[in-house]
Structure 1
Amino acid sequence: MEREIDNRTYLKYLLHSLKVDELKQICRDYKVRGYSKYKKADLIEFILDSLAEEEMTKIITEKEPEIISKEFNTAIDIINGKGRETLEEIEVVNPDRNEIELRFKGFNWTVHSFLSITQSNIKDPLRDCDCRTGANMGLCEHFWVGFIFSLKNGYFNLSDWTLTTFPKELKNQLESIKITTQEGTENQTTEKSGILIDENSDSSHLMEHLDSRITVLESSISEVLKRESEFQEIITTYYVLKAENVKFVPQVKKISDAKKEDIVEVDELNIRLSENAYEKVQVEKGDKFSCNGTVNRDNFWGYILKRATKYKKL
């Protein structure tokens, strides 16, 4: 099936994902003059007014795969806890209209997004978002997170989707993504809030232990970061260890108590140490490291082990 909206409308959606320098390059490529005075939103309108229909078609053909892949992969990073933002919640606010609200948290900002995909609007879904791209009806990463949730919740079939192309490699990434409750149990009921996890990612393994104590049996420290935080004019120094090749189990009293069948392996895990703990252990890049701690999800660090105890170099 072919896209049902016109080229100008669709190209406008796509162009909002580009930076101003990229938009200006389009002007140079297509010999559009007089663009330097415009800011982004007006520049996009100026470009659309200046292009012939066949030029719009050519730009869509050239730019669409790159733009869709970039925004979609950023959405996957958010789901996997690797993005600049954390997916805090997805709430179904109107099951009859497939209306969902999503909340994302960055280091010091929050993004709210809305999406409704139904059989009557699937050609150009009803949507809104706080981010710069989404606020202008662009297909931002927040839109794609909502798209994935809606697809996994059975609101539409991918075969009915005509608004954008959907490369095969992106389809493959969808297979391992599931809807869960905040507690990590699979949830397909539309009355409850939920989040998304990729069962093939580290985040799914860590989510199963969210707010629980684990024992890191073994890890390799790839980086040590010193950081400061301020609360009520009190400055606290702490350290974040970037651990790789991590093996962990639900917390045990002694490493020798760990059962082989309970061992979980993840590629990466952040571990937070207090200044006092760091001074005691003096861990450095390249060290093998073990500790106990509580799995938390942080708006900046993603999944991180906090309240570390029994820390030691191996």
Structure 2
Amino acid sequence: MGNVHFVRSTQVGADEVLHVDGLSVWENCAVLFRRIEAICGEGASSVFAEPNVKPQGSGGLVVAWFGGYDDDPKPLDALDRAMNARVEADLSSRLAALRPALADADIGETVAAMINIYDASAIMAVGEHAILTNWGVLPRGVVASQAGFARHSEATIGPYLKSGVSPAVPGQSWRITGGMEAVGASPPSQPRAPAAAPAPMQTVVVERTGGVRLLPPLLLSAIFASALAYVAWPGSLIYERNVPPDQAAQAGWDKIRDDLAKRASAFETALSKPACEAKDAWVEASLGIPAPAAAAAPDAAQKSQQAAEDAAKKPAGDGK
């Protein structure tokens, strides 16, 4: 896996990069990465981004960092809680895998120096993988004392270290354990007094009395008694008086019902007749009265009108 994917760029001082036997930990890092993988297994060196260094004036260095994962690099504080937990677990696992390299006589001191990071922002997330930038670098003043080194390590790489994995300053025996305490040159801690045995737990037993056991029956009796008192109280329950129906009103409703039944029957009869006869039957059913008599035949009316016209035209003297 080649380190060809850009992660980020940084600026550090040339004197802040750690050196082992006069050589910067960044020199020939490709060879160092291959040696780490030969000892710890394939991919063990992928936790370190590869630096591309360009000197600047006044002893400064501009560093472009490249990794082997093709994904968007992000700082840890830009991740949500679930992703952050996965990336931190990945970092802890990858650092723990470096134990064989830390124990190697040839590169152990160099790998311990590589685990140092400049600050907490040096840890980047590329997908779900953790990758270190600005590794092998310590700010000026941190290497002046073991206490300063311990404080810096606790605040940066320490929370991700497991037993047997610790950064180191070349030429010093300083080590940290999980970023929580410095060991080595520090005086041994005083033995702690054994903790006092806790007092035996006492069990408190609360006995129920007869009054408590009788509470449900008494409560039910009170409820039933209240219900009976309410029913027996005068005026609490009022029943409607049984009033006999009005015979005259009932007879009127019966007449209306019979009339509607007759009209409905007449409608059914009208619908069953031919169209020319259905009209009179429909009128009779709707109005409840017989249909008007049919008009005189058209030819008889015309004959009567013609006779009247002829009489009017006849001369008056014709009657003699």
TM-score higher than 0.5 here? no
Structure possessing the higher radius of gyration over alpha carbons: 2
Structure 1 length normalisation: TM-score? 0.19
Looking at secondary structure, tell me which structure has more helix per residue.
Answer: 2
Looking at secondary structure, tell me which structure has more strand per residue.
Answer: 1
Q: RCO greater where, 1 or 2, for CA within 8 Å and sep 6 or more?
A: 1
